[in-house]
């Protein structure tokens, strides 16, 4: 699975992604700070990256505009130091559900959004679009 970390989140999320064996990058790493959501989304989809953001509304709208997308992870808005633990939970959730489905995590994420509930910090997923 390939993951792209949005600029609203800490670029340190790349580290736990790598620890799980995934390719990961961020807006900062690619010199794309300040890129428009639409331009960034095209780069992410063309590169087959699951997009990780807390900018839920804009990226849900962009995903709905495509028949096929690599997936979306939505983290609750928290301070950056709390984002790493939250992201670890999301990666564990994806891996467990992909294994149950007999799929690789990247394949399981296609056209899916996984999000962390802000109140319970539990994860949920559903198809998108």
Indicate the pLDDT class of residue 129, thresholds 50, 70 and 90: confident
Q: Which domain holds residue 100?
A: 2-127
Indicate the pLDDT class of residue 119, thresholds 50, 70 and 90: low
Mean pLDDT of the region 35-39? 82
Per-residue model confidence (pLDDT) at position 18: 95
Taken in order 82, 36, 70, 11, is the CA torsion positive or negative?
negative
Helix (H) or strand (E) holding 3: strand 2-5
What is this structure's pTM? 0.89
Q: CB of 69 within 8 A of CB of 48?
A: no
Q: Using one digit for the tens of pLDDT, what is the confidence trace for 59-73?
A: 777 777 777 788 999
Total number of domains in the chain: 1
Q: Give whole-number Cα distances, 44 to 38, 75, 99, 102, in Å.
A: 10, 17, 25, 25
| Secondary structure letter of residue 12 according to DSSP | G
């Amino acid at each position: 699975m390939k993951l792209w970390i949005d600029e609203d989140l800490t670029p340190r999320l790349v580290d736990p992604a790598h620890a799980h064996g995934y390719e990961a990058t961020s807006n900062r790493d690619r010199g794309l700070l300040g890129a428009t959501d639409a331009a960034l989304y095209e780069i992410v989809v063309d590169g087959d990256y699951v997009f990780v953001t807390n900018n839920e509304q804009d990226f849900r709208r962009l995903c709905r505009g495509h028949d096929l997308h690599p997936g979306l992870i939505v983290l609750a808005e928290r301070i950056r130091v709390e984002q790493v633990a939250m992201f670890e939970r999301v990666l564990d959730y994806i891996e467990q559900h992909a294994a149950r489905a007999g799929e690789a995590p990247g394949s399981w994420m296609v056209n899916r959004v996984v999000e962390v509930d802000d109140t319970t910090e539990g994860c949920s997923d559903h198809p998108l679009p």
